[in-house]
Amino acid sequence: MGKTEILKKKYPGIQYYDLKENFLMPGLINAHTHLYSTLARGLSLRAKFSTFKEILENLWWHLDKNLKEDDIYYSALIGGLESIKYGVTTIIDHHASPNCLNNSLDIIDSALSKINLRRILCYEVSDRDGEKIAQTGIEENIRFIKKCEKEKNNFSRACFGLHAAFTLSNKTLEKCMQANYNKSYFHLHLAEDNLDLEENLKNYNLSPIQRLNQIGLFDFPILAAHCVHILPAEKTILKEKNIKVIHNPQSNMNNAVGRAYIPEMLKRDIFILLGSDGYTLNMFNEAKIAPLLQRSYLKDLNAFNLDKLYKILFLNNSKIAGFIFNKVLGEIKIGAEADLIILNYFPPTEVNASNFMCHFVLGMDPSMISMVIIKGEIIFKDKKFTGLNEIETYKKSREVSKKLWRRL
């Protein structure tokens, strides 16, 4: 960083781009997604989808059981390409493929290595497919955690994935805690739908938050997606245990599960992140919808202001991803990773520190992105990927998805 002429002299022969009036921003971070959902786009099933349980059983759990290696690879690669086109340079993914489980995280890692998208990967442990597959899921998480520790790859890190509490027995949770030797983040779904609350109350006489806290899971670092159906007193537990809550507004709206109490959590100083839950990979849209959902539901113009949105999207997401990578992410400063996006945005009014988020929400969108840089390397420029044939990749993905759809 510095004056143009000084830097040109200091680094002779370096590539130089005059960005003129374009905007330079840190790459965005998606704190919770499911890349394997990419090949479900346009899928038509005859099964019913009138409840959240039916969505899980008839769509997602039906899909994940049928995933093979090619499906995992191309869903990750296409999901990665689209993330980059949306200005996302780091994702935290949550994967499930119970009948193609061993080394599934390596397949995702290999696909995303083609485009150097930063990724934090995990496998979703669950008892819904039986004890043997649950144990294999535990082993897949630990294997990949150890691999990342050994290789110290610039682009890959690991969490320990869990599904929701209602599909996990205490026995399996205890195995997961014993296996998580270095206290990696547990990345799980928590109280997404009332189903999670009802099943835990019925089987354990505890809410999911009470149960996971009682069993000791919350003594580990936690990334908890959703947290929609929580009891009033449980906000205290989330704060005391420093749970990182990942808000996924568009997914919650699409699945009709309700509204996460984000303004109320922010008042308690609970740490909030923003993700997409696989519903989309467009974090621009996710950020635009988040405050609108709260304002509309609460009928309160001040329920979720843009300062809070800035903190969640640009500070909190960066802080957690940076902590897991042990690097400075999501900032433009000396010592930070050079993960950057450039937009052709020509504002009709002045842009400054106090009104930037207004411009971001009302004026900017991914169609304006002209360049994406990850760790100093240009990955996407002038609407094209620099090291990959995008048309052929999408063509192959459609072939793979047709085979997958025939199995469903």
324 within some domain? yes
| Each residue's pLDDT tens digit, 210-253 | 999 999 999 999 999 999 999 989 999 999 999 999 999 999 99
Q: What is the pTM of this model?
A: 0.97
What is the tens place of the pLDDT at every residue in 142-162? Answer: 999 999 999 999 999 999 999
pLDDT band at residue 129 under the 50/70/90 scheme: very high
What is the C-alpha separation between 117 and 76, in angstroms, rounded?
Answer: 11
Q: What average pLDDT does the segment 60-81 reach?
A: 98
* 1: exposed, middle or buried (Cβ count in 10 Å: 0-12, 13-18, 19+): exposed
Q: Cα–Cα distance between 49 and 60 in angstroms, integer?
A: 11
CA–CA separation, 305 vs 73, rounded Å?
39
Q: What is the rounded distance in angstroms from the CA atom of residue 129 to the CA atom of residue 133? A: 6
Residue 131: predicted pLDDT: 97
What CATH number does residue 115 fall under? 3.20.20.140
**Six-digit token pair at 368?**
């304006």
Task: Give the per-residue pLDDT at 115.
Answer: 96
Give the chain's domain count.
Answer: 1
Q: What is the mean pLDDT of residues 378-405?
A: 96
Q: Which residues pair with 222 in a beta bridge?
A: 186
Calpha distance 274→228 (Å, rounded)? 14
Contacts of 232 (CB under 8 A, 6+ apart): none
Indicate whether 17 belongs to any domain.
no
289 to 51, 250, 355: CA distances (angstroms) = 23, 7, 18
Specify if 13 maps to a domain. no
Q: 35 in helix, strand or coil?
A: helix
Instruction: Dig out the tokens for 163 from the structure.
Output: 């599904």
- Identify whether 15 is part of a domain: no
Q: Where residue 45 falls among pLDDT bands split at 50, 70, 90?
A: confident
pLDDT of residue 77: 98
Residue type, 206: L
Whether 10 is in a domain gets the answer: no
Which one, of 70, 123, 121, lies nearest residue 98 by Cα? 123
Which residue range forms the structural domain that includes residue 82? Answer: 23-407
Determine what percent of the chain is predicted with pLDDT higher than 70.
100
Q: How confident is the model at residue 391, as a pLDDT?
A: 96
Is 304 within 8 Å of 295 (Cβ atoms)?
A: yes
Distance (Å, whole) CA 259 – CA 292: 12
Within-domain flag for 6 = no
- CA–CA gap between residue 375 and residue 151 (Å, rounded): 17
Instruction: Find tokens 């048309």 and name the residue.
Output: 391
- CA proximity to 347, closest of 339, 338, 337, 358: 358
Mean predicted confidence (pLDDT) in 63-86:
98
Does residue 18 belong to any structural domain of this protein? no
In the chain, the largest separation of any two C-alpha atoms, in whole Å, equals 70
Q: Is residue 11 part of a domain?
A: no
How is residue 179 written in tokens?
Answer: 């296996």
Whether residue 59 has pLDDT greater than 90: yes
pLDDT at 299 over 90: yes
Reduced 3-state DSSP string for 123-180: ECECCCCCHHHHHHHHHHHHHHHHHHHHHCCCCEEECEEECCHHHCCHHHHHHHHHHC
Please determine, for residue 387, whether its predicted confidence score (pLDDT) is greater than 90: no
